[in-house]
Chain A
Amino acid sequence: MTIWLAQHGAALRLALTRLAAAPLNTLLSLLAIGIALALPAGGQMLLGNGMQLARNATPQPQLSVFMVPGADSKATAAVADHLRHHPQVRSVEALAKEDTLARMKSSGGLKDVIEVLGRNPFPDAFVVTPGKDDVETMESLATEFRQLAKVGHVQLDSDWVRRLNALLKLGRTGVGLLTLLLGAGLVAITFNIIRLQVVTMRAEMELSRLLGATDDFIRRPFLYYGSVLGVAGGIFALGLVAAAAASLNEPLTELTSLYGLPLDFAGLPATDAGLLLLLAAGLGWSGAALSLQQYLRD
């Protein structure tokens, strides 16, 4: 066990020594890996803020159900009854057309227009809060309510949130693809770095095998090298993302407040950052392993 620890410690030390021995190379590698990781990490951060925005903007998504103009009170009562007893509806607020008319009259500009019309142009309406607020439930409820007798129009009052959600879904797919692509890029980067190292260290590796080194012994420092490079690149990426967050914070908060939307711009959460470092270590390790497999095969 202590020998095992000592061997791993030695391999890690060797990896760090090799990194420090070529500082310019190391720096450029870190730059490449850092940027490759910063893109999906930055995307993830923006996505997180978008999701926060979508959440805050709709505390309670609702459906507005309008009766056809001139629907009689019996039809309205039937619809009200249906809505109130629907299992997927949490609450129903009825807006009688008389109340609406009164409210509209009291709100300035519309008063004259309404008086010209001479009759009540507003239909009876209901504001429905469903039990679940996912898009599918909302849609199916809207479709169902549209078919009720004398219902003229059903509106999802959170259409723009739905659009934002669709956009976020797209964004998530995008970030996923980006992660996949740039993750593969990271594997390719470490693969090549290690391959070059193997070329320069071939004599030493050959000698080690002749002196009784196992494949693991030869592989180990390179694997550490790959993962240290990955983690260091990941830290660099997190730095880039934090810098981006700092410079985006003010303009974004200002922009969203212009739309009356509360946004508390947040950087990448700690779990995501940890995940990123883990991923970077794993990818660096894999790149190195692939590279060595090629060498150790013969």
Chain B
Amino acid sequence: MIRFDRVSKRYPPGIDALSNISFEIDAGARVVIEGHSGAGKSTILKLIAAIERPTGGAVLLSGQNVGALKRQAIPYLRRNIGLVFQDQKLLFDRNAFENVMLPLSIAGFPPREAAQRVRAALDKVGLLAREKALPIALSGGEQQRLAIARAVVGRPNLLLADEPTAHLDDETAADVARIFTEFHQVGVTVVIATYDTRLFPDARRIRLDHGRHVERSAA
């Protein structure tokens, strides 16, 4: 489903975030991208979602060269991807329901069907009772779950999550991890960037070190 073919990414003024990265991720897989802070994990996710373009090589998503997409085509690519951002990007002047509604409004869903989907997504992350709450009134774990609900409400077949368990205590982190596992079980391809090597012990791992792909040691 996802193929990186000798991908490099150099940010101005000359920071090599990724160097000659190649890997392939099958549909329905669950993959953890791990590495130290600054290793290039976020950059990988951004390249898949066409938030950044590679400076070398090709990023293919379902056979489509993402880096070569026209500007007008990018929105439609993103509607098929669920994104959980490192900084969550919740709208703090909108309540939980409205935050989750945003992707559906963007995609032009009829309001009634959209409302049903929003409630279903909130239910899946255990926030149905809090739909009227503003994000500021939610705990860290609840905010992260809200961000996940927003990512999955459009029923994407690919879910990209950047450090979804950062700043969460172990119990809450395990809770969030369980939610991702549930999506994976219903067939969603899940790619998670995390420095937390204990998370998803049974998932396939792609290890980065200073922008280079390192074969996983037997650790």
Contact = CB atoms under 8 A, between A and B. Distances in A.
Partners in one complex: yes
Interface of A: 2-3, 6-7, 10, 203-204, 206-215, 217
Interface in B75-111: 75-79, 83, 85, 89, 91, 102-103, 105-108, 110-111
A215 B78 CA distance: 14
Interface residues of B, number: 22
Contact of B106 (A6, A203, A206, A212): A212
A6 B107 CA distance: 12
Please report whether the interface of chain B is mostly helix, strand, loop or mixed according to DSSP. helix
A207 B89 contact: yes
Given A10-B105, A212-B77, 15 more contacts: A3-B108, A6-B110, A6-B111, A203-B91, A204-B91, A206-B89, A208-B106, A210-B83, A210-B85, A210-B89, A211-B150, A212-B76, A212-B103, A214-B72, A217-B75
Interface in B156-209: none
B102 A211 contact: yes
B107 A212 contact: yes
B96 to A, nearest CB: 15
A211 B91 CA distance: 13
A208 B154 CA distance: 14
Contact of A211 (B72, B103, B110): B103
A211 B111 contact: no
A213 B154 CA distance: 13
A3 B110 contact: yes
Counting chain A CB atoms within 10 Å of each CB, the highest count among B89, B110, B111 belongs to B89
Contacts of A211: 78-79, 83, 102-103, 106, 150
B106 A217 contact: yes
A55 B111 CA distance: 59
Counting chain B CB atoms within 10 Å of each CB, the highest count among A2, A7, A210, A212 belongs to A212
A185 to B, nearest CB: 32
A211 B89 CA distance: 11
